[in-house]
Structure 1
Amino acid sequence: MPADVPPIPVPDVPGEDAGAGGLPRRVDLTLRQRLIVDSSAVADLALRTSIASLLSATMVPSLAQALHKSASRTEQEHLRFYAELAAAKDPELSFPAPQDLPRVSSRPANPVAEWVAHGNVRNIRFDSSFRAVNPALRDQCAGFVRNNVVHAQHWRHDDGPRPTLCLIHGFMGSAYLFNGLFFSLPWFYRSGYDVMLYTLPFHGRRAEKYSPFSGHGYFAHGMAGFAEAMAQAVHDFRSLLDYLEFTGVDRIALTGMSLGGYTSALIASVDDRIQAVIPNVPVVTPDRTVDEWFPANKVVALRDWIARTDTELVDTATMYSSPLNYRPIPAKDRRLIIAGLGDRLAPPEQAELLWKHWDRCAFHWFPGNHVLHVSQPDYLRRMTRFLAPFMFD
């Protein structure tokens, strides 16, 4: 069974489970909690502005495209395509399952990874079988050569297979070492789990040549490009599930942070092999979130004004990849959401939207921000108690 206390060097300022009404009001917090929430929120605003500036640069080419009527018409056609899929609310139609078992190649990870895990760590890769959901974009998506090779890191016990905890990283945060340490994965590994770290499309080694940063491709191809990136994220992860199932794994839990939380919540609405799901500081309506991200919000507004974009159509189309558009498959007692009250990159209101959609399932908050999880030992203990009945019966 998992250990009681994770050996990680962060302050253990406890959060709590949300009440029947959701997240606490500011007046309900202790003075110490309010100080942590306020100070961490200020730090998050600075980080958010930096990331939003990067995104603004990424979206500049779309401004030029908006000036061309033919490009604007094409984008409107793409939006109508995803809006129709979203309106059907059918995950099987929106996210078709892979048809073939992936041909996986595996090699030992670097010595640092094995030292961190204190165990057997392999880097795996395979060719993606994904085809763009939108037929009009299949040639474009097929041309992303590096992105169409799937990468993951597998921490596996020699006497495996074991119950497996899968982790999906956040936007721009694909480094295995960072995620292994940030999420205390050595602790989970020593507690008996195998661990799988999955690399999202356009991140890490999947970033296309000359990409200015990891994750650039997610937002570099307009709303349609983002929709297809999410579709590929789901598809390739399901191929990874096929591989785990083939190797004998029969219990899989899924967690993810930020964009990874968004993706994990979506996958839990698509694939029934997920025993338990824990979105951590998730975004569930990226379009609303970007509205608050200066200066990226100004670039988006200018692009939409130039192209005379139908905002209602955009709102409908963006629901295509939102977990709010589909019903979760794991039972209510197998869903846990984690949110930071000081988070200004993925505001806690985003997690609360998912909580309401997920029938007010287990919901834990901590008084930190998007990257400073000051009560991480507390919520890791919460995760341990939550997972144990499903993963170690």
Structure 2
Amino acid sequence: MEPEPLPEPPIPVPDVPGADATARGLPRRADLTTRQRLLVDSSALADLALRTSIASLLSATMVPTVAGALRSSQSRAEREHLEFYAELAAAADPHRAFPAPTEPPRVSSRAANPVAEWFAHGNVRNLRFHSTFQAVNPALRDRCRGYVRNNVVHAQHWRHHDGPRPTLCVIHGFMGSAYLFNGMFFSLPWFYRSGYDVMLYTLPFHGRRAEKYSPFSGYGYFAHGFSGFAEAMAQAVHDFRSVLDYLEFTGVDRIALTGMSLGGYTSALIASVDDRIQAVIPNVPVVTPDRTVDEWFPANKVVALRDRLAGTDSALVDAATMYSSPLNYRPIPAKDRRLIIAGLGDRLAPPEQAEMLWKHWDHCAFHWFPGNHVLHVSQPDYLRRMTRFLGEFMFD
């Protein structure tokens, strides 16, 4: 399904190829060539600088929760919330943890701006509809209902005039919700010309879903403590399932899902919840965000201080965190329809996170590249890998 060569990546990078993982998993350092080792080391250093910048933003976001930890009533409430999610996680029942929407979305569609249509070289529509999400935790329903902008779902649909076609859905990473950026980064016009329709989904609290006065896109994910993150993940799954309802209503019967970073985490989780996903490709995913943030200075210090002030039980936090982790549920797509992509120099979503998912997913297809979280070295290599992987069952 390759009508023409892939375009050059939006950020020029060295052409140092990666490879599929072996039965043992990701390569050891000794298995890499000299060029690969140099690139992994240098990209890891660059990632550390980026990670520190993002962690500093998150630290500022979490300051109100530190102040709240000083109030016994708020600490007690957060502990009760943790117990609620820990109980749900222990059941390991995705249908109970992530209830399906009970009514179809009433979607409003309008033509995207001329730049989007020029970039895609096709028909592009911006979609929006009101979310029917209700907080999973009844104690938080009033709070979640009050997020006015967040409760309007946004997506962008690239659709062929003779559609519907097999559809590639894309979920962006934390703070990276811009449609144009994601279209460029994942070479989506190329997939569109290969015959796919494309759906770009906006996560809660990002882009136009960010609440008024949010200092940055994605702020709401981490601004309301652990319970706020858990409900944001629950809403991400719920609203995406409404997008699937819309695609199904328009006649789409083959859907593949990919996502980067937080989007990779979300896509892996959705693949454990909804059986309409034919194939899933998490890209540089996290699977245990709490362990990842433990390495993010200075955010890790803020979290530690908050937990110390609140007297938080670390075992309870670990148990509650599994509520939204894809490691807690079995994937629905068959093993040959799962592909994981990881960067060896990634320090925002360390490759060990992807390897944990790979082990949980029965050693499915696993591709690595010698770059970091945003510098995807030899990206055309894994885009071709994705195309070969998807082409076997997305098109007759």
Residue correspondence of structure 1 range 228-243 to structure 2 within 5 A? 228-243=231-246
Which digits, 9 at most, give the CA deviation of each residue in 1:144-177, with x for residues without a partner?
0000000000000000000000000000000000
Query: Post-superposition shift, 1:390?
Result: 1.3
Indicate which of 11, 14, 19 corresponds to 1:16: 19
Distance 1:255 1:146 in 2: 25
Q: Which amino acid aligns with 2:20?
A: D
Percent identity over paired residues:
85
Partner of 1:372: helix, strand, or coil? coil
The answer as to 2:366 corresponding to 1:342 is no
Farther off after superposition, 299-308 or 11-20: 11-20
1:290 to 2:296 alignment: no
Q: Secondary structure at the match of 2:242?
A: helix
Equivalent residue letter for 2:8: I
Amino acid at match of 2:129: F
Question: Which of the residues 384, 389, 392 maps onto 2:392?
Answer: 389
Residue 88 of structure 1 pairs with residue 95 of structure 2: no
Unaligned runs of 5+ in 1: none
**2:79 aligned to which of 76, 81, 91:** 76
Shift of 1:374: 1.1
The CA distance in 2 between the partners of 1:298 and 1:101, in whole Å, is: 43
Which residue is equivalent to 1:31? 34
Name the SS of the counterpart of 2:126 in structure 1.
Answer: strand
Aligned pairs, number: 393
The list of structure 1 runs, each at least 4 consecutive aligned residues, that deviate by more than 3 angstroms after superposition, is 2-5, 9-12
1:259 is matched with which residue?
262
How far apart in 2 are the matches of 1:351 and 1:375?
Answer: 19
The range that moved more, 10-19 or 110-119, is 10-19
Conserved in 2, the CA contact under 8 Å of 1:287 and 1:318?
A: yes
The DSSP-based 3-state class of the residue aligned with 2:176 is coil
Task: State the one-letter code of the partner of 2:42.
Answer: S
Separation of aligned partners in 1, 2:3 and 2:286? 30
- Deviation per residue, 1:280-321 (Å, 9 max, x gap): 000000000000000000000000000010000000000000
Find the counterpart in structure 1 of residue 5 from structure 2. 5
Is structure 2 residue 171 aligned with structure 1 residue 168?
yes
Q: Equivalents in 2 of 1:187, 1:14: separation in Å?
A: 20
Q: Does 2:365 correspond to 1:362?
A: yes
- Alpha carbons 1:52, 1:295 under 8 Å: kept: yes
What is the alpha-carbon distance in structure 2 between the residues aligned to residue 78 and residue 68 of structure 1? 16
Tell me what 2:104 maps to.
Answer: 101
Residues of 2 paired with 1:14 and 1:271: CA distance? 34
- For residue 167 of structure 1, give the secondary structure of its aligned residue in structure 2: strand
8 Å contact 1:336–1:363 — kept in the other structure? yes
How far did 1:358 drift?
A: 0.1
Q: Which amino acid aligns with 2:143?
A: Q
Task: Tell me by how many angstroms 1:8 deviates.
Answer: 2.0
Alignment TM-score, normalising by the size of structure 2: 0.99
The aligned counterpart of 2:120 is: 117
Maintained 8 Å contact 1:5/1:381: no
TM-superposed CA distance for 1:2, in Å, is 3.3
Q: TM-score, normalised by structure 1?
A: 0.99
After superposition, the C-alpha distances for 1:24-81 in whole angstroms (9 at most, x for unaligned) are: 0001000010111011000000000000000000000001100011100000000000
Q: Matched residue of 1:253: which SS?
A: strand
**Which secondary structure state, in structure 2, belongs to the residue aligned with residue 324 of structure 1?**
helix
| In 2, Cα distance between equivalents of 1:64 and 1:76 | 16
Please provide the CA RMSD for this pair: 0.7
Task: Measure the CA separation in 1 of the matches of 2:145 and 2:17.
Answer: 47
Structure 2 Cα separation of the partners of residues 106 and 300 of structure 1 = 41
Query: How far off its partner does 1:5 sit?
Result: 3.4
- Structure 2 residue runs of 5 or longer lacking an equivalent are none
The answer to whether the 8 Å contact 1:58/1:220 transfers is yes
Give the Å deviation of 1:4: 6.4
Aligned counterpart for 1:221 among listed residues 216, 219, 224: 224
SS of 2:367's equivalent in the other structure is strand
Read off the aligned partner of 1:96 and give its amino acid letter: P
Counterpart residue type for residue 371 of structure 1? V
Cα distance between partner residues in 2 of 1:319 and 1:369: 26
**Counterpart check, 1:143 vs 2:168:** no
Is it true that 1:332 corresponds to 2:335 in the alignment?
yes
